[in-house]
Amino acid sequence: MLTTIQIKSKRIKIDLSKPLDISMPLRALKSNVNAWYIDEPKITAVELDGWVASVKQGAAINFNNIQFNPHAHGTHTECVGHITEKTYSINKCLKRFMFTAQVITVAAEVAGEDKIISKTQIQYLLKRKNPEALVIRTMPNTKDKKSKQYSHTNWPYLTEEAAVFIREKGIKHLLIDLPSVDKEKDDGQLLAHKAFWNVNGEIRKDATITEFIYVPNKVEDGSYILNLQIAPFDNDATPSKPVLYKIE
């Protein structure tokens, strides 16, 4: 189903029948991807006065409560309200949902006991591209990412210099397949978050960070259209479903 869309001044043709989903589902299992030292998500049937809202248990409907943390339990999109005293809601900050995007694949560099994604790497892989969204796939890219327990693993992270470069390129939407763009244990410095959102200058309230994506190996590096779908939570972050479309 080919269709032509217009993003700013560009008219772009995509096939809506061929979406490339780069989100991870939220499952009520210990094998659900996880970070930040908390338990797995929980999905449980409502119980009222002995009635259990489960068709398997005789009810007419399934009617579940869901307990989870968007930052810890799967693909999520966050706004600057994640790190500011002032309240900002992702549901109000994100007002457009279709963007030009560039997918790049990065092997993190060793830096002492850490692994980092540097400005030099991002600059080399982007070349002269100026997308609205940047999708970062890290290597190795195995399916284990969908169930990895990241707490206490010191995952790779973006350097502050890399985040500044991404901001100065005019990229508004940063997507990565890690729990955070920052170092797991950094004493609350959050250097990449702060640099990307420019919290010490004119805050970029319309910019977003999406973490815990999974980009299958069949998705080649290159230019795409991104449909950034979010749940309408009035919160700093929300579960999300980023979908890529190849440009025809």
pLDDT digits (tens, 9 = 90+) for 127-178: 999 999 999 999 999 999 999 999 999 999 999 999 999 999 999 999 999 9
Structure confidence at residue 8 as a pLDDT band (50, 70, 90): confident
Provide the sign of the torsion angle of the four alpha carbons 11, 164, 88, 67, taken in this order: positive
**What single-letter DSSP state applies at residue 108?**
P
Give the pLDDT of residue 194: 98
Which H helix or E strand runs over 110? strand 109-111
* Tokens 């410095």, residue located: 189
Phi then psi dihedrals of residue 119, to 5 deg = -60, -40
Q: Which CATH superfamily is domain 2-26+69-246 in?
A: Putative cyclase (3.50.30.50)
Q: Which amino acid is at 37?
A: Y
Q: What is the pLDDT of residues 177-223, one digit of tens each?
A: 999 999 999 999 999 999 999 999 999 999 999 999 999 999 999 99
The ranges assigned to domains in the chain are: 2-26+69-246
Strand 157-158 and strand 208-211: the pairing is: unpaired
- Identify the pLDDT of residue 5: 86
Name the burial class of residue 37, with classes exposed (0-12), middle (13-18) and buried (19+) by CB atoms within 10 angstroms of its CB. exposed
Check if the beta carbon of residue 235 is closer than 8 Å to that of residue 2: no
